[in-house]
Amino acid sequence: MVFSSISFIFYFLPLVLLAYFITPKRFRNIVLLTGSIFFYAFGEPIYVLLLVFSSVIDYIHGLMIEKHRGTKKAKTALISSIIINVSLLAFFKYADFMIINLNDWFDLGLKTLNLRLPIGISFYTFQTMSYTIDVYRGKASVQRNLLKLSTYVTLFPQLIAGPIVRYKDIESQLDDTGISYDNFAYGIKRFITGLAKKVLIANSLGQLSVLASGTQAPSVLFYWMGAIAFALQIYFDFSGYSDMAIGLGRMFNFKFLENFNYPYVAKSITEFWRRWHISLGTWFREYVYYPLGGNRTGKLRWFGNILVVWFLTGFWHGANWNFIIWGLFFGLILVFEKLFLKKLLDKTPAAINHIYVVFTVVISFVIFKNETLADIALNFRGMFGGLDIPFISAEALYYLKSNAILLIAAVIGATPLAKNLYGKLKETKFRKFTSAAAPATAAVLFILATGYIVDSSFNPFLYFRF
């Protein structure tokens, strides 16, 4: 079940909200847990057992760490928790990748397992690991109530596509099951914003990207149009889903941390990754980069730590070489920025820096999108004039004109321009108008998005594969 579906918006969510509001405060976590289990089982009737297993395993390990705190047994419990979680992720997500590559390298003839990837396993595995690690470090209190820990692990707003919510960030909120009407109102507005980004913009950009990839009349312009459309699509797709998750969390009085902060306005790739998928970057920084030594080592090891983190970041996104290349691509650029490039960027006009960031990111998402090296090479050749195709074709111009409004809206929407303008209007004599326009705009966006969902069969979500 996806957030941008009729079954979720008009059936599941209203029923869970109603049950939550009419249930006495002390039983509301039971409502959330039951609803979340049903939500996951709706799409994963078998793998829901894996989700329950993860919750119980890390609950037990948390208790063991607390019981034996300060001893080798606590460290053993932590290592056991990490091994079990990583093994589950590795088995379901990477087993076939390893088998295929071993067959290619050593001609072993091993049969692939053809396992279907459990939805959201990359997200909830990282969350459960953050719990046991933070309990071991003393940054989070052990949760002695299995119901509450299971509610955290399975919480449906962030279960299948993030943001990656660390236990320590919502630890106290699991006990605060009250109802805040301000939070609820904000949650509705935030959910609708995300729904509109996902359905009206990301899905439309996705159709343009697919069209550009499958055209029978390729041109350099068409290749670039497809690359730019995909780079914008994945931003609106994932940031829209994060908005919906944050909004849903607020409806139930949970405050999830922001996951995107207008990354396309960044002036360096270092800044871009402080703004893009913030929860993933924070997780790798706290649980991988710092334990490796971070930048508190010699330069060679420091740069090695960066490359290790970005190898893992790429591999986290998918069991394919293109994701590894994508991760290492960013790792190398970040190393270059640390070595010399950032100093040059600091002396360069902001407009040039923005062009550098956008160009680099668009190039990176060509790698991200295409699974084979041959397809990556073909797209780069098409974009940079390496194929025997025209620079501009009549078909490319037609679709560029047809989608001009969409592309302009997407570019503007990827910046804080509209948000800043709204904020300034609220401080002027037009504040009464803006106060009235906000709910009206939300209502119109909701109607348009719902109509799109009903009318269109094209409603993919890119991050489900992760």
Q: pLDDT grade, residue 424 (50/70/90)?
A: confident
Whether 156 and 272 share a structural domain = no
Whether 92 and 208 share a structural domain = no
Whether 280 and 390 share a structural domain = yes
Percent of the chain scoring above 70 in pLDDT: 97
Contact 74, 62 (CB under 8 A): no
For the stretch 8-33, what's the b/e string if a residue is b when 16 or more beta carbons lie within 10 angstroms of its beta carbon?
Answer: bbeebbeebbebbeeeeeeebbebbb
Q: Residue 404: how many CB atoms within 10 A of its CB?
A: 10
Percent of the chain scoring above 90 in pLDDT: 83
Judge residue 219's burial from the number of C-beta atoms within 10 Å of its C-beta, 0-12 exposed, 13-18 middle, 19 or more buried: buried
Whether 143 and 214 share a structural domain = no
Whether 192 and 168 share a structural domain = no
The answer to whether residue 279 is domain-embedded is: yes
Q: Which of residues 150, 178, 206 is at a domain's end?
A: 178
The answer to whether residue 255 is domain-embedded is: yes
Whether 269 and 363 share a structural domain = yes
Q: In terms of residue numbers, what domain contains 44?
A: 6-178
Token pair of 431 as six digits: 């504040």
Q: What is the largest CA-CA distance in the chain?
A: 74
- Give the 3-state DSSP-derived string for the chain, with helices as H, strands as E and coil as C: CCCCCHHHHHHHHHHHHHHHHHCCHHHHHHHHHHHHHHHHHHHCCCCHHHHHHHHHHHHHHHHHHHHCCCCHHHHHHHHHHHHHHHHHHHHHHHHHHHHHHHHHHHCCCCCCCCCCCCCCHHHHHHHHHHHHHHHHHCCCCCCCCHHHHHHHHHCHHHHCCCCCCCHHHHCHHHCCCCCCHHHHHHHHHHHHHHHHHHHHHHHHHHHHHHHHHHCCCCCHHHHHHHHHHHHHHHHHHHHHHHHHHHHHHHHCCCCCCCCCCCHHHCCCHHHHHHHCCHHHHHHHHHHHHHHHCCCCCCHHHHHHHHHHHHHHHHHHHCCCHHHHHHHHHHHHHHHHHHHHHHHHHHCCCHHHHHHHHHHHHHHHHHHHHCCCHHHHHHHHHHHCCCCCCCCCCHHHHHHHHHCHHHHHHHHHHCCCHHHHHHHHHCCCCCHHHHHHHHHHHHHHHHHHHHHHHHHCCCCCCHHHHC
Q: Which of residues 155, 178, 201 is at a domain's end?
A: 178
Whether 174 and 194 share a structural domain = no
Whether 300 and 391 share a structural domain = yes
The answer to whether residue 291 is domain-embedded is: yes
For the stretch 275-289, what's the b/e string if a residue is b when 16 or more beta carbons lie within 10 angstroms of its beta carbon?
Answer: bbbbbbbbbbebbeb
How long is the chain?
Answer: 466
The answer to whether residue 91 is domain-embedded is: yes
Whether 165 and 294 share a structural domain = no
Query: Is 317 marked active-site?
Result: yes
The answer to whether residue 130 is domain-embedded is: yes
Look at residue 460 in the predicted model and tell me its pLDDT: 66
Q: How many domains does the chain have?
A: 2
The answer to whether residue 194 is domain-embedded is: yes
Instruction: Report which of 41, 73, 65, 69 is spatially closest to residue 129, judged by C-alpha positions.
Output: 65
Whether 343 and 433 share a structural domain = yes
Q: Which of residues 162, 178, 194 is at a domain's end?
A: 178
Single out the catalytic residue among 61, 68, 277, 317. 317
Contact 393, 219 (CB under 8 A): yes
> Which of the two residues, 235 and 431, has the higher pLDDT score?
235
Look at residue 213 in the predicted model and tell me its pLDDT: 86
Look at residue 40 in the predicted model and tell me its pLDDT: 94
The answer to whether residue 204 is domain-embedded is: yes
Tens-digit pLDDT profile for residues 394-404: 999 999 999 99
Whether 52 and 170 share a structural domain = yes
Residue with the two structure tokens 């997500």: 93
Question: Would the pLDDT of 408 be above 60?
Answer: yes
Look at residue 274 in the predicted model and tell me its pLDDT: 97
Whether 196 and 95 share a structural domain = no
Judge residue 408's burial from the number of C-beta atoms within 10 Å of its C-beta, 0-12 exposed, 13-18 middle, 19 or more buried: exposed
Residue 105 CB partners (closer than 8 Å, separation 6+): none
The answer to whether residue 1 is domain-embedded is: no
Q: Give the chain's mean pLDDT.
A: 93
Q: pLDDT grade, residue 419 (50/70/90)?
A: confident
Tens-digit pLDDT profile for residues 187-228: 999 999 999 999 999 999 999 999 998 888 899 999 999 999
Instruction: Report which of 407, 369, 362 is spatially closest to residue 264, judged by C-alpha positions.
Output: 362
The residue-averaged pLDDT of 334-348 equals: 93
